[in-house]
Amino acid sequence: MPGFSTRAIAAASHAPESPQPPVNVPIYATSTFAVADAVELGELLEFARPGHSYSRYSNPTHEALERALAELEGAEAGLATASGMAAIHGAIVAFLGAGDEIVLPRAVYGGTIGLARAVLGRLGIEHAVADTTDHDAVSGALTSRTRMLWLETISNPTTAVADIAALAELARLRGVMVVVDNTFASPALANPMALGADLVVHSTTKYIGGHSDFIGGAVVGSENHIRAIREVVLNVGGNASPWEAFLALRGLKTLGLRMERHSSNAMTVATALEGAPGVAAVRYPGLASHPQHELAARAFRGGMSGGMLAIDLAGGRPHGERFLGRVRVAVHATSLGSVETLVSHPASSSHRQLTDDELAAAGLGPGTVRISIGLEDAEDLVADLVAAAAPD
């Protein structure tokens, strides 16, 4: 008889098949999969047959998330990644090389600009920046070397809304790929593929997960595009973990419900803050005062405008910093898209190196505060945020 350890390892490795399918996707907590022979392994590593070889390449829990996101975004295929940044990196590096250019929105997630500066530049991939609400500016920024136009459905942190259909058409005529970061809107509000995007990326850390309890990302698009991105991601090790993929799947089930509440809470708060003492401006696509309000009303599902808003405090930097210290219901933390209301002040955090002029060029003011509205009771949020914004 084999020794105890041999028997223990074998005994504890039998995965039972349930005749009744589980209601939730199991977490396939395995780094590797037993194969019949070298031919099978070779074919699996080449993705020439269905199945799994090694979890950096693929895993059933990742696959379930990839299929779910592809379906909800109206794409052929998807890839789950370790973070939103891993998805953004893969989506760019799979298609651009030395001498190519990418056009980024003027107001874009700081990590995307950080990637362009810290990594893409070293690969010889140049970036230009354009105000994506100004189509002439975008057209002017596209050169013969531009291969990709990057958009955010709702920009971080300014809440500018991109006219994806018009910009995708503009790019298509110039032979430029369009990638949309749909993190702020989530698939519950918008499906950029249907508007002409070639790829859609998500930080699943945000609304898809929805509970501030993991970091994850995903990209969806055509089979061919996803194959090319998978090649990059598996080689740099940017794959998802099955544990986090499970949490993202769980989050997806309540995404629709949560986005309704994020949107209605944000609308109530935005309305209350507009004109409140100390508040110079409120930027929320649901407000009639938002420059792309009509577009948002047309483009987003179910009359929702999402949970992200930005306010400009009249007292500049010190007012922004004071606001952070005064909130009692909201939490001062980076990140967004969660059940908790989260506040951040770009001028003293993500954009702290910038002068007031540089902030203005990025569409921000020294007193701009980003608020990710959570699922708390709206009246508690209104009381908390109005009090925090009040001048001394």
Ligand X SMILES: Cc1ncc(COP(=O)(O)O)c(C=O)c1O
Q: Can you give the binding site for ligand X, defined by CB under 6 A?
A: 83-85, 109, 111, 152, 156, 181, 183-184, 203, 205, 215, 217
Annotated catalytic residue within 109, 230, 258, 284: 109
In the complex, what is the shortest distance from the CB of residue 184 to ligand X, in angstroms, rounded to a whole number? 6
In the complex, what is the shortest distance from the CB of residue 155 to ligand X, in angstroms, rounded to a whole number? 8
Under a CB-based contact definition with an 8 Å cutoff, are residues 130 and 162 in contact? no
Active site residue 56: yes
In the complex, what is the shortest distance from the CB of residue 216 to ligand X, in angstroms, rounded to a whole number? 6
Considering the complex, state which of residue 101 and residue 181 has its C-beta at the smaller distance from ligand X.
181
Neighbours of 138 (CB within 10 A): 24
Residue nearest to ligand X (CB): 84
Neighbours of 19 (CB within 10 A): 5
Strand ranges across the sheet with 146-152: 77-81, 217-221, 199-203, 177-181, 146-152, 101-105, 126-130
In the complex, what is the shortest distance from the CB of residue 15 to ligand X, in angstroms, rounded to a whole number? 30
Distance, C-alpha 212 to centroid of its chain: 13
In the complex, what is the shortest distance from the CB of residue 324 to ligand X, in angstroms, rounded to a whole number? 17
Residues 6+ apart with CB under 8 A from 169: 196
In the complex, what is the shortest distance from the CB of residue 200 to ligand X, in angstroms, rounded to a whole number? 11
Considering the complex, state which of residue 215 and residue 304 has its C-beta at the smaller distance from ligand X.
215
Which amino acid, residue 187?
P
Active site residue 253: no
Annotated catalytic residue within 57, 163, 198, 206: 206
Backbone φ, ψ for residue 349 (5° rounding): -130, -95
Helix 242-273 to helix 378-389 angle (10° resolution) is 70
Considering the complex, state which of residue 44 and residue 85 has its C-beta at the smaller distance from ligand X.
85
Considering the complex, state which of residue 159 and residue 203 has its C-beta at the smaller distance from ligand X.
203
Active site residue 109: yes
Considering the complex, state which of residue 346 and residue 365 has its C-beta at the smaller distance from ligand X.
346
Residue 288, class by beta-carbon neighbours within 10 Å (0-12 exposed, 13-18 middle, 19+ buried)?
Answer: exposed
Active site residue 326: no
- Residue 287 exposure: Cα atoms within 13 Å on the Cβ side: 25
Pull the structure tokens for residue 121: 């530049």
Considering the complex, state which of residue 203 and residue 338 has its C-beta at the smaller distance from ligand X.
203
Instruction: Please tell me the distance from the alpha carbon of residue 149 to that of residue 294, in angstroms, as a whole number.
Output: 23
Annotated catalytic residue within 56, 250, 301, 326: 56
Pull the structure tokens for residue 51: 């199945």
199 strand-pairing partners: 179, 221
- Residue 331 exposure: Cα atoms within 13 Å on the Cβ side: 14
Annotated catalytic residue within 57, 106, 163, 181: 181
What residues are annotated to the active site? 56, 109, 181, 206
